[in-house]
Structure 1
Amino acid sequence: MENKDDPGKAYDKSIRKRLTRTVLIPSITLLVLWAVLATAFFINGLYVRLVAGSVRDVSIPALTALSSLQQERQLALQYLDSPSSGPQQLQQQEQDSDGKLKGLQEAFAATISSAPDEIASKVTALKAQLDQLPVLRSQVNFRSINRAQVNTYYNGVLDSAATLFDTQARIVPDATAVQGAISATSLFRAGDLMSRETSLVSAAFSGSTFAPDDFVQFSQLVGYYRTQLAQISPFLEPAVRQHYQQLSTSDAWKRLNAAEDSLIKHGPWTSGDQNNVPVSAGDWHALTAQVAQGLNQLTIEQADQVSTAAIDSGNAQLRNAIIGSIVALLASLAAIIVAVRVSRSLVDRTLMTRLERLRNDSLDLARNRLPNIVGRLKSGDPVDIEAELPKLDHGRDEIGQVAEAFNTAQLTAVNAAASEAKARSGVHNVFLGIAHRNQVLVHRQLQILDEMESREENSTQLASLFQLDHLAARARRTTENLIILGGKQPGRRWRKPVSLMEVLRAAVSETEQYSRVQVEQVPDVAIVGTAVADTIHLVAELVDNATSFSPPGSQVEVTSRMVARGVVVDVSDQGLGMKEGVREWANAMMADAPEFDAMALRADSSLGLFVVARLASRLGITVTFDPSRYGGTRATVLIPSNHLANANAPEPLAEAPALAQVGAPAPESAAQRPAPEAPQPAPRPYPARPLPTPDPRTAEPYPPSAGQIPDVPAAPRAAEPDLSELEGDDRPRLPRRQPQQNLVAQLHDDPDAAEADVTNAGETTARTLMAFHKGTRRARGGQNDS
């Protein structure tokens, strides 16, 4: 998962991209502001058009339908107050109202889905009241409702319509349109007030009685609508204001005002006093109908002009927003292009050229010169650092300071590499010196043991000496491991080829638990003398590893066969095997041997596998690990054909080695030596290179059973070579020992089985020890001469 808080992520982009981004930030900010403002203007224009369109589509049909409802209200009140009058005129008005309300319902359905929520809620409330109109009409026809209920219903419908108009007026985001729409709403309210007063007086004429309560309400309505008209007239649209002045100066207007004043002066009346009323019913109906029609027309005209002006305003805002947006966009794009071109020119001319030159110079030093210098330092060659490490000169500005810092860093790195090479050379010298000293001591120890074995006649003591001899041989292999780690070769050498069987037996004899190893199916082939020592060492390490990581009672099989590219040696154990990741790591190590420096950095350096990898790399031998048929691990060693010789004339393994240096150890015996101690776990390998580092086995090495000290077995006999063929062997041959020749009398008797197990004595044991002794002496035949 990426770490977003990593400070290094901020420097992943190139300088050109980062500078371009810096230049683009203000330009992009300008574009964002342009987008926000343009969107705001565009949305505002659309909103104005939407509201203005809803006003035009809803208000005008609504005014026509509401005017018809006002007439219906007046006739309904007259019908209720005059039982003798018929319903024909009222029914005609209801049909006229239904036709106009149908158009209003269609307008509602077309606009309510796109109308703002404030308008939609008011439209819904008005539709709900209009849906109750058929019920009210039925009650009026049957005279099952009174005048107050009729007034309440119709007045409620008209008040809801006025609220809708007022909401439409105030929601328009344009001050001029809002003022005109409010004036239209006020004009509608004034006309409705006049319609209400007309209904009261018409009902009074029909009922021949003008009740005091109705008279008071009439007087208030007259004052309300006159005041309303006087207040809104200055804010009407010019053409509407002109038409209002014409209406207010007309004869009908004046006569209506006079009639209203006379009725107010007369006051309430009853049926007996109706003849004294100053206005007749006919004149009243004619005057109010004419003036109401004029006011309704003024309201429709005002609403139409206001909505038209609002739509024009919305269109103008949209047009201005589009034109302004295009201009602002072009200006922003031009500014961005100019800024990017200027920044690119600045970067390319002043920064990128110098930075690329600094990069090329630095890469040349890092990839070519520094590796060459460091490699020469590691190999010990003299290096003049000041002369061979040129300084980078890129001026004195910031780029030059970076170059100077790089000069300092590379000089420090080279000096550190030189110091490390000196220290490593000293450590290697000490390391190899100690290893060679130990090798001389072990070699001397083996010589002394040979002499003691040749003089010893007691079989028990001889077995102990053979065990010491075997441990000394294993110590010699460990010493040779140290020499291999130091980059040198052990002193054991053969000049003539040695048969593969002898090589494998010698490798097995150098392992701790040799008695568990079975060598079989060995082809008749020989290994050239120059590869014998390293091959023995390589196979011995693999066999030792196999015995250490398999159950104590199991066998380790060593088989070989000829293939097209050479000879293959398989070492198979019966342990738990390697895990998949560990096996891949081990095979990677065999394919590419790591440096010992890297291995030394780990607490557990996988010494055995590392030695195998170094030896395989030196000889060109291929070593691979895979599962064995027993579930354990099988190590496959491919010895190439260039290390094979004619098997008809192989050199016996006991041929004297050509020692590379004084005091170097001689080759180990081809026979197996007894192991007096329990097998110890081999060190767990760790990779020296960046490979997975799990344990090389799935389980710890199997410990031998308690008190396991293997009986001295009959060691595998090598072919008895002619000792006279040993190179440089001018000493007399050792005397050949006869079985039981010098044994005491008690040993000639046959001891019981328990005693034989405890003393490890007897004729069989003696013969076995002598055979083993002969083999080890043949294996070290050349050492005794040195």
Structure 2
Amino acid sequence: MSPRTGARRRLGSIRLSLILLALVPSVTLAAMWGVTTTQIFSEGLRLREQTGLSRSTGAMGTEATLALQQERSLSAAWMASPHGSRAALDRQRGRTDVAVAKLVRRSQDFKNAPARIGDRMYSVIASVGSLEYYRGQVDHPTDITAQQALDQYTSIIGDQIHAFQELSQVDDGDLTSQAGPLITVGNAAELVAQEDAQLALAWPSGKLDEQSWQQFAQRVDVRRWVFQSQVLNSLHGTVKDQVERVLQSQDWKTLETVEDQIVAARTAHGRVARTVDLPDAHARWNTALGRISDQYTNLIQQQTTQLLDRSADKAHSLLIKAAALSAGGLVALLVCVVMSWRITRSLSRRLRGLRMATLSLAEERLPDVVARLNRGEKVDVESATPPLDYGEDELGQVAKAFNTAQRTAVYTAVELADTRRGFQKVILGIARQSQNLVNLQLSKLDALEREHQDPGILKGLYELDSTASQLRRYEENLVIISGEQPRRSWTEPVALIDILRSAVGEVAQYQRVDVHTDDEVYLSPPAVADVIHLLAELIDNATTYSPAPSPVGVRAAMVAKGLAVEIEDRGLGLAEEDYAAFNAQLAVAPQFDVVALADDLRLGMFVIARLATRHGIAVTLRSSPYGGTTAIVLIPHDVVVRGTPDSPATDGEVAVPAGVVAAKGSADDAVPERRPHERAEEAPPSARARTTGSAAPHSGPAQDADRRGGLAPLPRRVPQTSLATELREETAPSEADDKDATDLADFTAERAASSLAGFQRGTLRARDDEEMSYDHGGEEPSYDHGEDPAPTQPADRSWTPPADRS
């Protein structure tokens, strides 16, 4: 048992703790503080907090507002004439960034502010966050117009003015009334700044369109009304005198004169113009506005500081008064705070410990248990779920319930893992038994293929042989899903072309597959079986999900990162999201999940992902130019063997379809010499497959025809004709073995397949030689074997035996 957690400083129960937290402050405040004392003290504290917030953010906000107004005007001038110097704009942006940064750093002060103030200030912070985007539009306008960019600056400034107006609404009515005229002056100054920005956008062209002129005229009327009706009537004392001096200055009169000229310029020659020509007053306007801006900026900052000082003094006086009336209540409050703090700390520490324990289970222990179960380790439920001791109170009962929950979770995970392992073993056992039956069936088919030479019977036997080979691959899928490996193995590298042809041979519609490769490379023995299986699954998908007449291309070539095999069909293809989903599944090794497999029975993708992950192979699906799907298999360099291996692979057999020959070199390279005393049977017509190689030259039968007076004998069976050199057996069977039809130990389906391929090539050569002799005036060839030869195909076609059965 672990030591009791949080045993010290613990009260009787959570309920008692909550009662104490509520009762002690209430009784203390009710006894020591009266209604008047509480009201005065609360008012003083609130006023002090509001004053402090206004002092920390008000001045900074004013600085940011003025900086943004200047940046807005300079941005308008730059957008109107982007080929001039922008040094002034860059300097102003730097000043604006400094002012905004000061304001943003005080955002922590908004947490304790009233909701109305906090919402406004957070809105300001959010609006200045979009400043960089609009600066980018000023520099390189792509999404918005110049006027829209200025409107966004105006919106940001408006948010700040509204926020500062909320800051001025304090609990003291006198202070609020004193702040009203100051806010009005700021609004009027903003109208002047808007006029300047609009003119800065129009000065380079010297014209205002009708809409811009109307906006300018409206701002002029509103600003003059604000100053005459609101600002002057609400100000008193020295502030009013300062504002009147500004309004009566020569610079202010210059501004009004330019405004009047622009407003009157729309009616020229007794008619209303659609485009207003601006007067030549750019320099006068900027000079006068610069002086006026300095004056009202100093005025606003000075009055803001004085107002904050008065607010702080009043808050201080209220606090002193409240402290004098509630000295005893302050002591009781301190006691209450200490007790509340201790109780809260105790509860927080225990709850925090329980939370950490819960997170430890969810993020560490349960994932570790699941990982160990996936690795096949045994997990003890008791040791994996150490109990937590949090006492006997309500929190302790919660901990006990948590202990029960975690034990149940771990026990369920262990039980599910055991069930899954048992299910895998059952599937593996069934698959192994089915493999034995399939192998026995293939052996019997080999015997039948040796005994029978009738083309019709052989056609049916080879169809059964191909179906059995596919069934064997499906049984291997179950073995791979169960986490095991197929039994086929090699000890020597195997040629790429043989692997490709063997994979094609395991597909039902192998006659539709074109194989092409120009590189003479080999694959390392441990990867041969898995690569054959992986490619067979992809080729099978390509033939299954594409129309029957269309070919399926298989191309292989060395690339920078390894060996690339491309399988392309001409089916309907998939949507892009489906390709992305399949590629995500193929990128990781999937776990055995019965529910997932039941939801989506794409077992081929499951097998491909496991095989690819085992050897670091990357499989990618994408759309084909033909409208179908292209599967790209990238085999890493670790698996690829360059050059020719010293000895052939003998531990496993890669059965190569006779119709699929290497694309590199002539077909003679892939056909071994015939041995004496061997016969060949004709392959079924349904076993044809396309190939990128060429047919073997007509050599042997033609020579025999010359020696026998123009008649060519029937070709003999040539075992292992279609196999690569590395996969042929080292010793040839004896004549006695060939004659003994009951001895099947040394006779395989591959030999039968090779014999059929040799029979076909011999028949073609004999037919061509006889036709050649007939064309030169000879007699029509005849056969004395007592039966008609089977139909043959052109020289560029070859019969393809069924898949390998190792």
Report TM bin, short chain: 0.3 to 0.5
Larger-Rg structure: 1
When normalised by structure 1's length, the TM-score is 0.47
